Amino acid sequence: MNISLTVDNTQQVSQTLSRFAGLSGDEVAKQSVSPTRELTADHFFAYGNNPANKNKFKVTPTGYWNKAGQATKSSSSGDTINIIVDEKGTPGLVGVRRHYTGGGTIKPSGRISEITQKPIQYLTIPINGAAHGKTVAMMKALGVDLYRKGSALFAKSGNTRSDSDTAMFALKKSIGPQTPNPAIIPTPQQYFETVALVVKNLTDPD
Amino acid sequence: MTNPRAEEYFRGKRVLPTELRTREFARLPLWVKEQSFFMAGVMDAELAGAFQRASQAVLDGTMGEAEATRIIREGLAKSGYKPEPGQEGTIKDLTTVHRQLINLRTNVALANGWVNDVNRRKSANIQPALKLVRGRNADEPRLWTQKLWPEAVAASGSKASPDRMAALIDDPIWLYLSDFGVPYTPLKWGSGMNQVAVFKSQAREWGLLPPKGKPPEVKPPESLNSTLEVTTSITDPAERNKLLDKLDGLAVFSKDKLVFTDPNGSRPWPVPVLANLLPRQNVDGTENYQKRALREWRNLGGDAAAMSAMEKEFSGTDLLDDWNMLVRRVTTAERIQTTTALVDALANLVSLVL
């Protein structure tokens, strides 16, 4: 899933600046494509690097926000700049939009599981640091032997199941709703200031 | 304004079986690294190809990492790969999922890094510098500010400050820091550090650009790779031709050297050589930039007046840089002394190329 934002304040900038520099809104938007991408990516990097946003398991971070920054792309169309977090092709980067907008209940898609070859009925929620940032398929690829017991997936600690096995994933029919978190992206004011800096640097002679 | 695509860039890579280790490979010319897919010490093209296909599937978004490792396992089984004695289970063992994931993730990150680098270079007129920032915490972070950066400033010929991790986009420090010999992130295996572009005004404040009113020294444009060449031990003509075929016009042999033709750059070549070089498409399938510039010159009249018109018409654009590099390489190679002779040479090139 992608998050797509339109920074539509270039018009305001261009109206002010066009009188001085003869820059059109389209030109300002075109020149702002890369700088607004950089602002967004930098924001993701800083967000992910903030100790307050550490994962709850206190284990090695998966670099979710780092990936979001690296996968941030931008383009312009007329006087509009579009900033997209391109989740396709970035493993482990899912749901950036949901972080931003929040949202209702998440349920299993019902698609056919690569592992069981049956429709997926449960969401698998990591409940152990060893499973943090990993899918069930990844745990299997890593050689972890998982089995279901009640409403959780356990990892075998030996060749057979035992009471000392550790629960890795909780099985849930649904989760949510998620609280919106607008702080994951820069504020409109930061975008505005960046576009203003673009114009300043464009019109600033060396 | 659209983005180049990471998956398309990666699709253009060709498998290069090599005995080189990553550090040795990093010393090869940038164009070789960007156009080839290699794995340290992997001579089996089929096996390297399996890793490439897995990375491509991830970049295309058609497979997750876990599923992509299946392609790799199949490739390993098919090739009969066995880790070197003593390396079983280590990071050098290709059968370990850990190694496979590092490879996949590094390939994805480098492809994204390439895209960001291309876009930043387009905006270098307003954001000419980069700062290095951490985007992911690490259990044992490398000593970037205390050690790696200051050491690289001293050793690379960088003009950056040892105290602030920022440098101009073309500063040699980026290549120096990279394990992969490319000027963009990731610079190290598994690194959580990223480049972020910096505005011209900020770069000036940080001393990366000269103070306002004091223009930087202007040099005729010269491409980054204009002098690249490597000495090779390949003497067999058939092998040489095979390699040249693979390189698709990007290099020629000159005695024992493989010389980069620099299709869009400033390496001097006489008109007949350029007439072969310019019609070739760029790796991404677009038209050679200098051919495009040559056409614009012809459209403006293809004479001495058109030389000045190019400056006026395309001021501040990449096309003017392309044009100036073309003029520079023709002038140097043909030892041209007068404008008339230059116009004649360029007109000759027009007749051969357009």
Of B335 and A17, more confident: B335
Of A43-52, B142-151, B221-230, minimum mean pLDDT range: B221-230
For residue B123, the distance in angstroms to the closest alpha carbon of chain A comes to: 7
Distance CA B4, CA B283 (A): 12
Q: Helical H runs in B61-199? A: 65-79, 97-122, 149-156, 173-177
Whether A6 shows a pLDDT value over 60: the answer reads no
Which of the four pLDDT bands, split at 50, 70 and 90, describes residue A1? very low
Q: How far is Cα B254 from Cα B258, in angstroms, rounded to an integer? A: 6
Of A129, A89, A169, A25, residue with least CA distance to B55:
A89
Q: Could you tell me if A141 lies within 8 Å of chain B, comparing CB atoms?
A: yes
DSSP labels, A110-155: -PBPTTTSSB---EEEE-SGGGTT--HHHHHHTT--EEEETTEEEE
Cβ contact B330:B345 at 8 Å:
yes
The DSSP annotation for B272-314 comes to HHHHHHTTSPPTTSPPPHHHHHHHHHHHTTSSHHHHHHHHHHT
Torsion angle in degrees (nearest 10) through CA of A98, A103, A104, A106: 0
Nearest CA in chain B to A36: B197
**Measured distance CA(A121)–CA(A172) in Å, rounded:** 9
With beta carbons under 8 A apart, name residues in chain A contacting B122. Answer: 34
Where helices occur in chain A by DSSP H, the ranges are 10-21, 25-49, 64-70, 96-101, 136-141, 188-203
The CB density around residue B302, as the number of other CB atoms within 10 Å, is 19
Quote ipTM for the complex.
Answer: 0.83
Whether the bond between A177 and the residue before it is cis, its omega within 30 degrees of 0, is yes
Round the average pLDDT of chain A to a whole number and report it: 83
What is the distance of C-alpha A35 from the center of its chain?
19
Compute the distance between CA of residue B202 and CA of residue B127 in angstroms, rounded to an integer.
Answer: 9
- Chain B residues near residue A140 by CB distance under 8 angstroms: 66
B197 interaction partners in chain A (CB closer than 8 Å): 34-35, 38
Does B215 or B121 have the greater pLDDT score? B121
Q: Which residues pair with A123 in a beta bridge?
A: A172
How far, CA to CA in Å, does B39 sit from each of A25, A34, B73, B87, B94?
46, 32, 16, 16, 10
Residue B298: which pLDDT band, with cuts at 50, 70 and 90?
very high
Mean pLDDT, range A78-105, rounded to an integer: 83
What order of strands is seen across the sheet that includes strand B129-134? B166-168, B129-134, B193-198
A198 in Cβ contact with A28 (< 8 Å): yes
Poorest-pLDDT segment among A10-14, A100-104, B272-276: A10-14
Q: What are the angstrom distances between the C-alpha of B19 and each of B23, B44, B64, B76, B95?
A: 12, 10, 29, 18, 18
Query: How much is the average pLDDT of B37-64?
Result: 87
Q: Give yes or no for a contact between A186 and A43, defined as CB atoms under 8 angstroms apart.
A: yes
What is the spatial distance between Cα A45 and Cα B155, in angstroms, rounded to a whole number?
A: 28
pLDDT of A8 > 70? The answer is: no
Cis peptide before B186 (omega within 30 of 0): yes
Residue A36 pLDDT exceeds 90: yes
Contact present, B148 and B179 (Cβ < 8 Å): no
Q: Which residues of A touch B123 (CB under 8 A)?
A: 31, 33-35
The pLDDT tens digits of the residues spanning B216-273 come to: 443 445 666 777 788 888 888 888 888 888 888 888 888 888 888 888 888 888 899 8
The H or E element containing residue B14 is strand B14-15
> Do the beta carbons of residue B153 and residue B119 sit within 8 Å?
no
Quick check: A99 contacting B, CB < 8 Å?
no
Task: With cut-offs at 50, 70 and 90, classify the pLDDT of residue B137.
Answer: confident
- A30 touches B: beta carbon within 8 Å: yes
User: Do the beta carbons of residue B253 and residue B259 sit within 8 Å?
Assistant: yes
Chain B within 8 Å of A201 (Cβ-Cβ)? yes
pLDDT value, residue B84: 85
Asked if B317 reaches chain A (Cβ–Cβ under 8 Å), the answer is: no
Q: A92, B65: Cβ pair inside 8 Å?
A: yes
pLDDT band at B304 (very low <50, low <70, confident <90, very high): confident
Counted across chains A and B, CB pairs separated by less than 8 A come out at 131
At B193-205, the pLDDT tens digits run: 999 999 999 999 9
Instruction: Tell me which DSSP letter residue B3 carries.
Output: P
Tell me the average pLDDT across A9-25.
60
* Residue indicated by tokens 């607008």: A182
pLDDT for the residue B183: 92
* Residue found under tokens 């050589």: B273
Task: Write out the DSSP string of B203-254.
Answer: HHHTTSSPPTTSPPPP-----TTTT-EEE-----HHHHHHHHHHHTTSEEEE
Contact (CB, 8 A) for A145 and A166 = no
**Looking at chain A from residue 35 to 94, which residues have their Cβ under 8 Å from any Cβ of chain B?**
35, 37-38, 41-42, 44-46, 48-49, 51, 54, 60-61, 63, 65-66, 69-71, 73-76, 88-92
Over residues B281-295, the mean pLDDT reads 89
pLDDT in tens, B81-130: 888 888 888 888 889 988 898 889 999 999 999 999 988 988 888 999 99
Residues of chain B above pLDDT 90, percent: 32
Q: How confident is the model at residue B213 (pLDDT cuts 50, 70, 90)?
A: low
Angle formed at CA B35 by CA B29 and CA B37, multiple of 5 degrees: 105
